[in-house]
Amino acid sequence: MFPKCTSKELVLDLTKDVYLLDNGRSCAEFIFQTLQFVAVIYLVVFSLLFPFLLVFFTLRQRKWNLLDTDRMKYGPVYDAYNNRYCFWEAIVLLRLLISLCLTDTYPIGPFIQVYGQLTLTGLYLLLVIAFRPYRTMAWTFCNANNHIIFEVVSNLCLGFVQIISHPIFKIYWNIVEIISLVFICLVLLLWVVLLFGICCEIKESNFQGTMDESSMIGNQTRHKVKFLCWRSNAVGQDPSYTAELQEKKVNLDF
């Protein structure tokens, strides 16, 4: 049985009762306080520390040009993304963390939950369209990026499902429910088609990411050469001082 921690009614309120659960238990008991403490530690370590460690590791691999070399060992972490956005998995984890905080950490109102989740989905969709972080995977007869297409379609479907959870759509629930089921079936159908169409895909080379890395390395090399030239000029002798020494030597020999 679960303790009484949220609400006793079907609607969300700020009381400490639970609907159809054991009202004789309380969250103030030692066992539930211990579970809450352990859950907070797990949340901090896995949901906050792990994404930052993931960003550090992938950027380190990219800096030392080890993404392709160690792909067999660490590929599941960044293989779906191009080299320029190898850290994108951390953004996905942070999105899940924010979504979890909006729905499961504190009993906030349904309006805030709906608008918060919808805003989060919209921002992530704009980021995917603007930066296109996924590695290019296209069919032999079509140059479209299958990863980007599936991500955009699935997020549009997710946004529709989130927005219809608003109480204003309750009066049109029969129609909205059919539309949402159609969208979900379309996403599942697209997923199945892409899954069985892997044999027809051609993995294109990550030309853009390679060019970006090459330009970064070239800029760093030019800066280092310029710095070395500057240092050599700084420690060299002054030409006027050398000419003066030669003149004094000639006068002394005379």
Instruction: Indicate the average pLDDT of the chain.
Output: 75
Residues 23 and 14: beta-carbon distance below 8 Å: no
pLDDT of residue 107: 67
pLDDT of residue 240: 67
pLDDT of residue 237: 56
CA 230 – CA 113 distance, rounded (Å): 59
| DSSP annotation of 203 | E
Distance of CA 9 to the CA centre of its chain: 37
pLDDT of residue 114: 83
What is the per-residue pLDDT across 98-155, written as a single tens digit (0 to 9) for each?
888 887 766 677 788 888 889 999 999 999 999 999 988 877 777 778 889 999 999 9
Which tops the pLDDT comparison, 152 or 18?
152
CA 81 – CA 151 distance, rounded (Å): 13
Whole-number percent of the chain with pLDDT over 90: 23
Rounded to 5 degrees, φ, ψ at 65 are: 55, 45
pLDDT of residue 243: 73
CA 196 – CA 147 distance, rounded (Å): 14
Question: Which residues neighbour 174 within 8 Å (Cβ) at sequence distance 6 or greater?
Answer: none
Residue type at 216? M
pLDDT at 238 over 50: yes
Rounded to 5 degrees, φ, ψ at 140 are: -65, -25
- Domain ranges in the chain? 1-107, 109-204, 210-253
Whole-number percent of the chain with pLDDT over 70: 70
What is the per-residue pLDDT across 55-78, written as a single tens digit (0 to 9) for each?
999 999 999 988 888 888 888 888
pLDDT of residue 203: 58
CA 21 – CA 5 distance, rounded (Å): 10
pLDDT at 19 over 50: no
Burial of residue 253 (number of CB atoms within 10 Å: 0-12, 13-18, 19+) = exposed
Q: How many helices (H) and strands (E) does the chain have?
A: 9, 2
What is the per-residue pLDDT across 189-225, written as a single tens digit (0 to 9) for each?
999 998 888 777 775 544 344 444 444 554 454 444 4
The torsion defined by the Cα of 11, 14, 16 and 20, in degrees rounded to 10, comes to: 0
pLDDT at 88 over 90: yes
